[in-house]
Structure 1
Amino acid sequence: MIAPENPVLAVLCGADHPPDMAAIEDAAVVRYTDERGLADALAGADALFVYDFLSGAVPGAWHAADRLKWLHIASAGVDPVLFPGLRESDVVLTNSRGVFDDAIAEYVLGVVLSFAKDFARSLDLQRAGTWKHRETERIAGREVLVVGTGPIGRAIARMLRAAGMRVSGAGRRARVGDPDFGVVHESAALTRYLPEFDYVVAVAPLTDQTKGMFDAAAFAAMKPSARFVNVGRGELVVTSDLIAALQAGELAGAALDVFETEPLPAESPLWTMPDVLLSPHMSGDFIGWRRTLVEVFAGNFRRWLAGEPLWNVVDKRLGYVPSESQGGAGWATGN
């Protein structure tokens, strides 16, 4: 795909413009816009950079995309822009795969340790001025199932293995001998394997097949001593079923970074439930992540101008970058 001589780039960003865009502005006509002006910005645009990756405005403005050839989203998940109009078009979709892998893996290790070492209760007792000795759990040797075998899932598997945990995966195809997971189970048969695990980590992409995959049946299949961690997409989980499972003692706890509705509604029971850890969709957001997202886009922008193959091309049928495709590692090394 070769960029036109004087490309027009629309950038969906709201009030906060992406940093370090000077080199891109020198090479293209850049139209910064919020959701209200997106249709006007798309008219005649050759490319779209969805910097505001939580926005759902692209489908509503798609009718104005009369010349678009390439859409890049500043996230690993592409569900906000993967609607029928884009799927059926010739527009190439790329994402920011590779930016958040290690940060999310560190988050998962952190919440696993928090559960095992009872940090939340220690903090409560500290604030109450109460000295109460307890015994805590070891994580070495505990069984973990990571549901989602893409780059983030693999980073999680490597980090948890390094801490002594025994990690398996769940993905579209069952297999053995995987370099990061060893055994990968078929996610379509998830409830068959869930009883084996002490921790279940959801990091699958959101597709028609994965939406609502963690429902009442899935939670009922888990050990009562198991903990559930969601760093994937909120819609992977039927929230009412999760709340019911926690209330019934079918799970020992949950750590949730993503939710069906964000922000989490104030009336949600999750806010005050014991053994539930909540964070506001920030597990991958390390200091400097916004600049890194622009670096990824800038690397792909340079390739686009030169007519070179783009990094992180999403298979629009699958909803993610296939594992066998080239990832985004090149942007970090300048290759």
Structure 2
Amino acid sequence: MNPSGAGRCAPVVAVVNYTDTPPERLSSLVGTEATLRAASTKVGLDAILPEARIVVVWAYKSDLLEGSWELAGDVEWVHVAAAGVDRPLFPKLVESSAVLTNAAGVFDRPMAEWVLMCILAYVKEFFDNVEYQREHRWVNREVGVLEGQKALVVGAGGVGRDVAHMLGLVGMEVRGVARSRRDGDPDFGTIHPIGDLAELLPEADYVICALPLTAATQGLFGGEEFALMKPTARFINVGRGASVDEEAMIAALKQGQIAGAALDVFVTEPLPPASPLWDLPNVFVSPHMSGSGFEERLAAQFLHNLRRWKAGRPLLNVVDKRLGFVPYRG
């Protein structure tokens, strides 16, 4: 379905936000092209939703929309200001005629840079140097190089593609894993099906998880997967925390089954103070910030799609609501 937005000068857009005021940059860019009304509570959303033709879930972890969806009778388009749509995607939205879009593309380059930073920190022993500096120790030694290191990127969406491209530029050998096999891919060469994961894990120096959270990816990395990895391998997660069995990962890290992990996402966020991950010496914890620096791009992306909607043109980044992500069209 293509939203019938042609002819609407200033549609009401209900913004699920962290406050009852629309995001400043979004308001500034959209201007008079739409009427933005924000809510951070169910009472507030119930008041504005009946007038809305469009919903923007800016607070992407919020579940407010599900509780108020019965009032969204005129909503044709729901936009989630995030790459993952697992939290805002609920059964009644799936069954509805509303088109769902996400912010695919906004976070790809920053997240790829974060992955490269982590790999460089490991290869050049940056974390060790920080400790030596604290101890006032001068430890001159040989460190590794990126060229020839093997990376396995699990998830071949926009983030995974930018990761593969960036790692390829610095001489790493990159393989990709997705739902099905594809040959002749411009970024990966061959993309292997998820069923080949067990064969590919033992060869990788770095395993990068860039998966959306769906029923198929929930708990994908467990004890068996970590046991298959090299004891010198590192695991990097910029996808979703729930794609990993955290207890199994913690056990693998403690037992030396893998050498380390760089984690930007977790099952529970914020990461609880009692989590062992904070104190494991071979773990780098980052507070879900690998895609930072995005507000300007998020607002510009929505405005671009808003203009397409108003012109009656097909929207970009349409999520397959059954799959839970934007299918690759290459």
The answer to which of 23-32 and 274-283 deviates more is 23-32
Which of 123, 126, 129 aligns to 2:130? It is: 123
Determine the structure 1 residue equivalent to 2:36: 30
Q: Tell me the alpha carbon deviations over residues 47-102 of structure 1, each in whole angstroms, 9 at most, x when there is no partner.
A: 10111112232222222212111001111111111111111110000111111111
Q: Tell me the alpha carbon deviations over residues 208-230 of structure 1, each in whole angstroms, 9 at most, x when there is no partner.
A: 10110001111111111110000
Q: Tell me the alpha carbon deviations over residues 210-268 of structure 1, each in whole angstroms, 9 at most, x when there is no partner.
A: 11000111111111111000000111111111001101110000000000000001011
TM-score w.r.t. structure 1 length? 0.92
Distance 1:130 1:61 in 2: 59
Q: Is 1:164 aligned to residue 171 of structure 2?
A: yes
The code of the aligned residue for 2:271 comes to L
Q: What are the within-5 Å matches in structure 2 for residues 1-335 of structure 1?
A: 1-3=3-5, 5=8, 7-15=11-19, 17-18=22-23, 19-22=25-28, 24-36=30-42, 37-286=44-293, 289-324=294-329
Q: Tell me the alpha carbon deviations over residues 128-178 of structure 1, each in whole angstroms, 9 at most, x when there is no partner.
A: 211222332222101110000111111100100111100000001123322
Report runs of 4+ in structure 1 exceeding 4 Å deviation: none
Distance 2:227 2:277 in 1: 18
Q: Tell me the alpha carbon deviations over residues 3-35 of structure 1, each in whole angstroms, 9 at most, x when there is no partner.
A: 263522101112263214246352333211113
TM-score w.r.t. structure 2 length? 0.94
SS at match of 2:131: helix
Distance 1:23 1:191 in 2: 47
Alpha-carbon deviation of 1:127? 1.5
* 1:48–1:221 distance in 2 versus 1, CA, 3 Å: same
The answer to which of 163-172 and 21-30 deviates more is 21-30
SS at match of 2:271: coil
Distance 1:11 1:138 in 2: 47
**Equivalent pairs: percent with the same residue?**
46
The answer to which of 22-31 and 299-308 deviates more is 22-31
Q: Tell me the alpha carbon deviations over residues 297-320 of structure 1, each in whole angstroms, 9 at most, x when there is no partner.
A: 011111111111111111111111
* 1:263–1:23 distance in 2 versus 1, CA, 3 Å: closer
Q: Structure 2: where are the runs of 5+ without partners? A: none
Q: Tell me the alpha carbon deviations over residues 169-189 of structure 1, each in whole angstroms, 9 at most, x when there is no partner.
A: 000112332211112111134
SS at match of 1:43: helix
* 1:92–1:118 distance in 2 versus 1, CA, 3 Å: same
Distance 1:148 1:244 in 2: 24
The answer to which of 85-94 and 36-45 deviates more is 36-45
Count of residues paired in the alignment: 323
Contact kept? 1:40, 1:64, Cα under 8 Å:
no
Q: Structure 1: where are the runs of 5+ without partners? A: 326-335
SS at match of 1:201: strand
Contact kept? 2:234, 2:259, Cα under 8 Å:
yes
Distance 2:231 2:28 in 1: 54
